[in-house]
Structure 1
Amino acid sequence: MRLKPLETLSPRQAEISDRITSRRGGTRGPFLVWLRSPELCERVEALGAFCRFESALPLRLRELSLLIAARHFDAQYSWNAHVDKAADAGVDRAALERLARREDPAFTAPDEQLLYQFATEVLTEHFVRDETFAAGLAAFGEQGLVDLIGSLGNFSMLAMLLNTFQVDLQKDRTSPFPDISGFTRVGPVSNGAPSA
């Protein structure tokens, strides 16, 4: 990681770190960066928790939206952290492997293929075609579409942070993307929360 580990935490950082650990089992990865701005960290963690755990979209589609954003931004840490969760939630692993290779994933579930089309249009073209919007509205409803855009925004911000600060990959994982030449891993991996 480009930043040195936090050796000590302010009382506010410690409070937020403890809350993250209680909700997520540890303060690691991107939160070790976000803690440098405690108020932003608190808000980002709350938004991320909503997008992952409370969104109107079913878990399978929440995890898929995260992976689509991760692949769009080459966010290896996010991909590694969520590819198994997406597969466990029911997303076809072969389709995810194609997505990782930047091939057409050809999702067999119609809602997954639609979510992929919708997310890809907004991420690459910055707009969504009328027919894609109408299909998304019919399939996911108004709240589902709003939650999808919120999730894509949150997961895109996460990806930019991971890449900018070169957050180390998980110690048991390697680069999931064969086509990128950017950061893969520098230095030792930091697991767990810094000391308070």
Structure 2
Amino acid sequence: MRLAPLTALSEQQNAFHERLVARRGGIRGPFEILLRSPQLGAPLEELAARCSGDSALSPRLRELALLITARALDTQHSWNAHIGKAVAAGLDPVALARLSRGEDPAFTREDESSLHAFVIRLLSDHFVDEKTYTAAVDQFGEAALIDLVVSVGTFASLAMLLNAFEVDLPPGQDPPFPDVTGSAKRTP
């Protein structure tokens, strides 16, 4: 990681640290970074917790949105942290392997295909065409679609923290994306 370990915590950092340990069982990934800025880190962590657990989207679709965002932003740390949860939530590991390689995942469930198309359009084009939008709102409804957009934005914020500050993969974890090595992309 580009940031040196914290050697002392302010009162606000300590309170945030205690909340993170109580809620998440420790300080990992983007939360190591956010601990340095508790005035923004605490509300972002709260939003991330709500996106991950208190959403109109099912756990399976929340995990899929996170993995699509992680792959789109080349965030290997997020992918490794969530791939097991995604499979446990019912996502097809073969489709996820294709997604990790940057291939069309060819999801067989209509809701997964619709979510994938929507999130990819949002992240790559920054807008969603009418056909993709209509399919998604018909599939999920307005509340879940709003939750999806907020979740993708939150996951993207966390991914950018991980990438900008080059948070290392935990020891023993292999990089999941063959075309990404740290801050430099390999050309095939």
What's the counterpart of residue 107 of structure 1? 107
Please list every run of 5 or more consecutive structure 2 residues that lacks an aligned counterpart in the other structure. Answer: none
Aligned counterpart, 1:133: 133
2:61 match = 61
Q: Secondary structure at the match of 2:181?
A: coil
* Aligned-residue offset at 1:174: 1.6
Structure 1 residue ranges, 4+ long, deviating more than 3 angstroms after superposition: 181-184
Distance 1:78 1:181 in 2: 15
Worse-superposed segment, 11-20 or 53-62: 11-20
Task: Give the superposition deviation at 1:183.
Answer: 3.8
* Distance of 1:131 and 1:183 partners within structure 2: 35
Cα deviation digits, residues 67-121 of structure 1 (max 9, x gap): 0000001001100000110000000000000000000000111100110000001
1:83-162 equivalent positions in 2, closer than 5 A: 83-162=83-162
In the alignment, the residues of structure 2 paired with residue 182 and residue 77 of structure 1 have an alpha-carbon distance, to the nearest angstrom, of 10
Per the normalisation by structure 1, the TM-score is 0.91
Q: What is the aligned partner in structure 2 of residue 189 from structure 1?
A: none
Between stretches 145-154 and 21-30, larger displacement belongs to 21-30
CA distance in 2, matches of 1:13, 1:93: 38
Once the two structures are TM-superposed, the CA of residue 35 in structure 1 deviates from its matched residue by: 1.0
Per the alignment, residue 187 of structure 1 pairs with: none
Letter in 2 for 1:129: D
Instruction: Determine the C-alpha separation between the residues in 2 that align with 1:153 and 1:99.
Output: 19
Give structure 1 stretches of 5+ with no counterpart: 185-196
- Aligned partners of 2:69 and 2:130: how far apart in 1? 21
Partners of 2:107 and 2:33 in 1: CA distance: 34
Count of paired positions: 184
Residue of structure 1 equivalent to 2:179: 179
C-alpha distance in structure 1 between counterparts of 2:85 and 2:70, whole Å: 14
Identity over aligned pairs, percent: 52
Residue aligning to 1:191: none
What is the RMSD of the two structures over their aligned residues, measured on CA atoms? 1.1
Equivalent-residue separation in structure 1 for 2:122 and 2:34 (angstroms): 26
Q: Work out the CA distance in 1 between the residues paired with 2:182 and 2:15.
A: 34
